[in-house]
């Protein structure tokens, strides 16, 4: 029942966002709202087993607040990444390599978020993931020597404290 | 005024697309070509959004959303094919 | 007035980064570095171009107040979110496929993935 409610509400919100601006009842027309309720009930019945996987940890509003706060440092890191790439496009100075890091994240959502964050932040691109231990292989455009000393590599050089943020958001 | 600005920006993006096309044609390996195609897809989506803003037609932006999702599926399919998995 | 300056600025930043992405795509030596240019810079440029369109559309909505004017900013936001989610994922898929199909990073200092894979194949063969 809880799985059905969560799925139906998410589907209804998605429908409302896509049909905003159709009428005068605070942006929506009454027909669109009725059809949206019917469709989201159907979607909730059909796909509740796919959308919700046992754990309801993402219902905690604290995680969503951390997710919003994460945008700030993430956007700064992304701006830095782009200036860095622009510098390397113009000068052509590169020292690439593929390194392995173990961020110790357990859930699929967490590892997906970290891989996408790594791809968009300074000088790094996730290449592969070890599905048993959740280790990431990262292509690094400018390998630093101090990160090469021990195995597995220290993730602070590659992605700063993003794994700690993501642990708070998704685990 | 604003309309011609957005239209000019989308024409600039079309020039970028032509430049990225060189990589698709030249690229020594197949992944190189796919990288070029992926870049072209993103640029096409943004150019569609700018065209929509220039002509004040929001239907162009809906097309851009669908194009972004479909091009993502295409990229994933080509990648699966390259690494030799089952599609 | 200040809104127009913001729109001009955002369009200039967005077009600059998109151009840099394409130049990087043409200049870099191998697949992985090209992905760096082709993913990061286009995503960042798209964010700024979409922001410019959103500011423009929000101003139109604010000026005439019709509900149908709200379609454009909201749908631009949805397109931006679609780009933000799909672009890094696609890059990850291409990088993985390139490494599995045997493309080596040029001038690489270190390649942990290659070493691990060799270890695995030795273990499975013995």
Domain locations in chain B as residue ranges: 2-82
Report the domain count for chain C.
1
**Contact status of C39 with chain A (Cβ, < 8 Å):** yes
Task: Tokens 């890091």: give the residue.
Answer: A101
CA distance A107 to chain C (A): 17
**Contact status of C47 with chain B (Cβ, < 8 Å):** no
CA distance A119 to chain C (A): 6
Distance CA(A44)–CA(A148), nearest Å, equals: 49
ipTM: 0.86
**Contact status of C112 with chain A (Cβ, < 8 Å):** yes
Please calculate the CA angle A29-A35-A39 and round it to the nearest 5 degrees: 145
Nearest residue on chain C to B50, alpha-carbon basis? C53
Long-range Cβ pairs for the range C19-23 (8 Å, 24+)? C19/B12, C19/B16, C20/A85, C20/A86, C20/A89, C21/B16, C21/B39, C21/C45, C22/B16, C22/B19, C22/B20, C22/B39, C23/A89, C23/B19
Please report the pLDDT score of residue B66 as a whole number. 92
How distant, in Å, are the alpha carbons of A81, A163, C54 from that of C48? 15, 27, 10
**Contact status of C41 with chain B (Cβ, < 8 Å):** no
How long is chain C?
126
Nearest residue on chain A to C109, alpha-carbon basis? A97
Structure tokens at B70: 């479909």
Chains near A with 3+ CB pairs less than 8 A apart are C
Of A24-28, A113-117, B4-8, C61-65, give the lowest mean pLDDT range: A24-28
Cβ atoms < 10 Å from Cβ of B14: 11
Please report the pLDDT score of residue B84 as a whole number. 76
Beta bridge partners of C111: A98
| Cis before A152 (ω within 30) | yes
For residue A168, the number of C-alpha atoms closer than 13 Å in the C-beta half-sphere is 13
CA distance C126 to chain B (A): 24
With CB atoms and an 8 Å threshold, state whether A119 touches C39: yes
Give me the domain span that covers residue C22: 2-125
Please report the pLDDT score of residue B67 as a whole number. 92
pLDDT band at B14 (very low <50, low <70, confident <90, very high): very high
Between chain A and chain C, how many beta carbons pairs sit less than 8 Å apart? 133
How distant, in Å, are the alpha carbons of B21, C45, C88, C111, C115 from that of B82? 21, 29, 18, 21, 21
Please report the pLDDT score of residue C101 as a whole number. 81
Please report the pLDDT score of residue C124 as a whole number. 57
Nearest residue on chain C to A121, alpha-carbon basis? C40
């Amino acid at each position: 029942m809880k799985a059905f409610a969560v799925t139906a509400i998410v589907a209804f919100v998605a429908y409302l966002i896509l049909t905003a601006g159709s009428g005068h009842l605070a942006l929506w027309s009454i027909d669109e709202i009725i059809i949206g309720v019917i469709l989201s009930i159907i979607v909730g019945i059909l796909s509740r087993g796919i959308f919700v996987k046992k754990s309801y940890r993402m219902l905690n509003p604290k995680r969503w607040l951390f997710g919003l706060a994460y945008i700030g440092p993430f956007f700064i890191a992304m701006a830095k990444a782009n200036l860095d790439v622009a510098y390397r496009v113009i000068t052509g100075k590169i020292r690439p390599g593929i390194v392995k890091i173990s961020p110790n994240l357990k859930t699929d959502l967490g590892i997906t978020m970290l891989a996408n964050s790594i791809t968009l932040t300074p000088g790094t691109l996730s290449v592969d993931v070890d599905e048993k231990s959740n280790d990431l292989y990262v292509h690094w455009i400018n390998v630093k020597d101090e990160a090469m000393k021990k195995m597995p590599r220290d993730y602070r050089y590659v992605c700063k404290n993003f794994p700690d943020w993501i642990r708070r958001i998704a685990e | 005024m604003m309309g011609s600005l957005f239209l000019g920006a989308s024409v600039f993006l079309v020039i970028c697309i032509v430049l990225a096309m060189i990589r698709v044609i030249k690229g020594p390996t197949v992944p190189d070509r796919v990288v070029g195609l992926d870049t072209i897809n993103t640029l096409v989506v943004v150019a569609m959004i700018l065209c929509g803003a220039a002509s004040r037609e929001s239907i162009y932006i809906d097309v851009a959303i669908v194009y972004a999702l479909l091009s993502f599926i295409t990229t994933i399919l080509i990648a699966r094919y390259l690494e030799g998995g089952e599609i | 007035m200040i809104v127009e300056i913001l729109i001009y600025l955002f369009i200039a930043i967005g077009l600059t980064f998109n151009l840099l992405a394409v130049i990087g795509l043409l200049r870099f030596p191998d697949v992985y570095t090209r992905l760096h240019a082709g993913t990061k810079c286009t995503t960042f440029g798209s964010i700024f171009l979409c922001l410019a369109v959103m500011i423009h559309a929000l101003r139109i909505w604010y000026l005439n107040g019709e509900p149908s004017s709200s379609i454009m900013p909201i749908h631009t936001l949805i397109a931006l979110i679609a780009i933000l989610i799909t672009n890094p994922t696609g890059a990850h898929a291409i990088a993985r496929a390139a490494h599995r199909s045997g493309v080596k990073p040029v001038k690489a200092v270190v390649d942990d993935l290659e070493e691990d894979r060799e270890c695995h194949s030795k273990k499975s063969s013995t």
